[in-house]
Structure 1
């Protein structure tokens, strides 16, 4: 019998069935603030590079290296720190990661050469990898089951807002100090760090590590004694990435990284170098086009939340991959099409791609169980950054050597592979009880 309620513990509803409480709002703000920060850090590098080109004598390859260095860092950070969070706790990794954002952002003020900038952007990528691996795990474990998919998908909307704000800041900035432009990411990092200091450890992780008394105290304080923690697999040993591919769900675990891989390659490449891409396709008023396309991205990200509500997870990935493939292939095959046709096709991609990105923060958190959730999400984020870093690194050279049309056709191969993989392996997790 439970001393607080007088009822057997098994009869208590799960904490993910609790009504909206302050802890839900705090967790959402702490995680989504980090998502917006991630988008800002990755987005501000484009405007900064346009100012730094003369001083640093940037070649297409060095531009690609600087732009992709943060994405390489995400690969390392996702693999390493996701596993650390599963082993030692979400809170210590999740909270203090923001301190590194503040320090690294400020250190960009003192950059003197390309390699110093590459190292700092690589380190920022490590911090972003923590956000992908741990942020969605924290949000999933503090979320209500009803509307969980839409809430997790909001991570992508927050990311897109941060990315778009970075573009707006870059467009409105009238100075020539690119170091100061990069360092502005310290501002949202400080705000988010303050929010996270008030967030406790997730009860599900504590229970999975055998620390049930601590978990119970957090539930009693933030949810109420009438709620219980879902049954999770007890795992006192250190989780390993190898465990992701030895169990019965190994194909789903692999798919979690593969679909993300196929979504982000063309997305990061095109949006990081949107100016040269547009110019190569004949768009002269780059600032106006950029503003319109960024507005389209925000609308697309919001539309993606509606799709998460309307569609099953499986249908979501299949249909969005199909549309992105068709749009990119058409752009590449129709370089001499009328201006309005190219605008519409690019608009379709710019609208659907941000919406499709929403599921990157839903699927992995639902596919992996608590004992491996951060490790699994970290692996998926890391795997995806192979394509993102590679595409960003090579696109400037591809534009220079092959032109925009051929480069866009190459990019269309990513959503094609994603479509085929989704038809074969995409699971349905929409109503899954997190374990």
Structure 2
């Protein structure tokens, strides 16, 4: 809307950046009054606060805990890796999560991040006078579709599971990138838009469970470490993709660079198929196993 009104570009991009800070500010305000969970406080040795939080949230005073805080060492990455590596399921799921985070991070920033520029260069939505309002509308429509995909992804878990969701996501992203590469080469403008829609739909699926899986399989004490360590792969790959795609585009052209990015989606698909065990229902299985183990270890009543 601001572009159509003729607002100067020097002001427009600044307003655009400022608007992006509004959701972050809203989240920050909500975060100020967000209570800590008793489990989080327990793992930090803050027993007094944990008991108070438990009373407020669950009406449980946790009388078995002392009324004083205890100094506990913070979880170390080395200890976290030892625990994860000791269990084959946790190990495979964690490795997949790292690969998935890296692939989806680079997949997005190497192509989708530059999507508006790619559409303008390809002439999609650009008028004869050079007006790019149409391009902005096309880009907005693609991201609206991607947002819908993000809401649909959790609904699909009960049908296809985490493994199936990742395979569908990376598979669709791969198809979108390959078709998009040929569409860019032969200047098929409509196909470029369709391929971008397929890519973004798939991307929002394959990006939906990488962090979830890493946190899911980690023991409670290491969940924060698992999440933080896994997120490094997202940001490192995103940084790499954002800077390397223009270099590949200059060296190989849009066709070669886009095909190269599709390799990342293919790697993500193969890792989901051959590395990731099905994780749907994993938490319930772990809890049931823990209850059964506790029951077996408890002293049996005399007959």
TM-score by length of 1: 0.54
CA apart distance, 1:261? 0.7
- Do structure 1's residue 300 and structure 2's residue 153 form an aligned pair? no
- Do structure 1's residue 257 and structure 2's residue 71 form an aligned pair? no
User: For residues 383 and 403 of structure 1, do their structure 2 counterparts lie closer, same or farther at Cα, with a shift above 3 Å needed?
Assistant: same
For 2:295, the equivalent position in structure 1 comes to none
How do 1:35-434 residues align onto structure 2 when only pairs under 5 Å count?
A: 174-175=7-8, 176-177=10-11, 178-225=13-60, 236-247=72-83, 248=86, 249-285=90-126, 286-334=135-183, 335-336=185-186, 338-431=188-281, 432-433=283-284
User: For residues 362 and 170 of structure 1, do their structure 2 counterparts lie closer, same or farther at Cα, with a shift above 3 Å needed?
Assistant: farther
For 1:22, the equivalent position in structure 2 comes to none
SS of 1:200's partner is coil
Preserved contact between residue 173 and residue 201 of structure 2 (Cα < 8 Å): no
Task: Provide the C-alpha distance between the structure 2 equivalents of 1:402 and 1:337, rounded to a whole number of angstroms.
Answer: 17
CA apart distance, 1:282? 4.1
Preserved contact between residue 258 and residue 418 of structure 1 (Cα < 8 Å): yes
CA apart distance, 1:407? 1.2
User: For residues 329 and 193 of structure 1, do their structure 2 counterparts lie closer, same or farther at Cα, with a shift above 3 Å needed?
Assistant: same
TM-score by length of 2: 0.75
Preserved contact between residue 180 and residue 192 of structure 2 (Cα < 8 Å): yes
Preserved contact between residue 245 and residue 253 of structure 1 (Cα < 8 Å): no
- Runs of 5+ unmatched residues, structure 2: 64-69, 127-134, 288-303
User: For residues 185 and 289 of structure 1, do their structure 2 counterparts lie closer, same or farther at Cα, with a shift above 3 Å needed?
Assistant: closer
User: For residues 327 and 317 of structure 1, do their structure 2 counterparts lie closer, same or farther at Cα, with a shift above 3 Å needed?
Assistant: same
Task: Provide the C-alpha distance between the structure 2 equivalents of 1:367 and 1:345, rounded to a whole number of angstroms.
Answer: 34
Aligned length: 263
Deviation string, structure 1 residues 179-209 (Cα, Å, up to 9, x no partner): 4543444433333222112112221222334
Task: Provide the C-alpha distance between the structure 1 equivalents of 2:177 and 2:235, rounded to a whole number of angstroms.
Answer: 20
User: For residues 235 and 325 of structure 1, do their structure 2 counterparts lie closer, same or farther at Cα, with a shift above 3 Å needed?
Assistant: farther
CA apart distance, 1:227? 10
- Greater relative contact order (CA < 8 Å, ≥ 6 in sequence): 1
Deviation string, structure 1 residues 214-242 (Cα, Å, up to 9, x no partner): 323312212333999xxxxx993221222
User: For residues 245 and 265 of structure 1, do their structure 2 counterparts lie closer, same or farther at Cα, with a shift above 3 Å needed?
Assistant: same
Task: Provide the C-alpha distance between the structure 2 equivalents of 1:268 and 1:410, rounded to a whole number of angstroms.
Answer: 13
User: For residues 263 and 235 of structure 1, do their structure 2 counterparts lie closer, same or farther at Cα, with a shift above 3 Å needed?
Assistant: farther
Task: Provide the C-alpha distance between the structure 1 equivalents of 2:246 and 2:4, rounded to a whole number of angstroms.
Answer: 21
SS of 2:209's partner is helix
Deviation string, structure 1 residues 51-91 (Cα, Å, up to 9, x no partner): xxxxxxxxxxxxxxxxxxxxxxxxxxxxxxxxxxxxxxxxx
User: For residues 187 and 340 of structure 1, do their structure 2 counterparts lie closer, same or farther at Cα, with a shift above 3 Å needed?
Assistant: closer
CA apart distance, 1:396? 2.3
Task: Provide the C-alpha distance between the structure 1 equivalents of 2:79 and 2:6, rounded to a whole number of angstroms.
Answer: 48
RMSD: 3.0
- Runs of 5+ unmatched residues, structure 1: 1-167, 229-233
Task: Provide the C-alpha distance between the structure 1 equivalents of 2:71 and 2:165, rounded to a whole number of angstroms.
Answer: 33
Task: Provide the C-alpha distance between the structure 2 equivalents of 1:219 and 1:354, rounded to a whole number of angstroms.
Answer: 36
